[in-house]
Amino acid sequence: NPAGIDFYDRLVDELLANGIEPMVTLYHWDLPAALDELGGWLNPDVARWFADYAAVMFRKLDGRVKLWTTLNEPWVSTDAGYLHGVHAPGHRSVFETPVASHHLLRAHAEAVRTYRAEGHHRIGLVVNLEPKYPASDDAADRAAAVRADAYMNRQYLDPVFLGRYPEELAEVFGEAWPRWPADDLGLIKEPIDFVGV
């Protein structure tokens, strides 16, 4: 949407004019309805769509924006949007949740790759982290804390930095946990410049 891009163009100019260093987040829980109608984060093509959108933004703003974030809190997008249905798109499916999560990470990586080809500054990912402690020293409580940490924290960090998902996610999602192509995990590990928390 050219009008939307022009808005951000003017906003960046205004921030800079007032001595404020802009940091652009490409996705903060606001996928356009037209893309959601095509499957949204469940459609494997979403990674390419996101990279195309990112390229437009990079070309327009990169000379003035030095800090870019691909995704803001992707855990919230999947947990609230696909598991519990309290955010858009309002789904409630344990089977959709890991698929949306994986495609968000693929989109993040594609945007980072696009930035490396077109951008000149720094790009990263913002995650929400939450400490997890066992309720007691009991083995079952300790295992529950590890699963909770895998779901809440490491679900997005491990693929980006280690090229693999936490083993515990297979237990968390049970039969809904898919087997991911190795090529996808290699792509997701695309190096970034920072992690926002």
The one-digit pLDDT tens for each residue of the chain (197 residues) are 556 778 888 999 999 999 999 999 999 999 999 999 999 999 999 999 999 999 999 999 998 999 999 999 999 999 999 999 999 999 999 999 999 999 999 999 999 999 999 889 999 999 999 999 999 999 999 999 999 999 999 999 999 999 999 999 999 999 999 988 889 999 999 999 999 99
pLDDT score at 1: 58
List the beta bridge partners of residue 123. Answer: 68
Prior bond of 89 cis (ω within 30°): yes
Q: What is the pTM of this model?
A: 0.95
| E-state strands within the chain | 23-27, 67-72, 122-126, 194-196
Beta carbons within 8 Å of 113's beta carbon, 6+ residues apart:
51, 187, 190
Residue 153 DSSP class: I
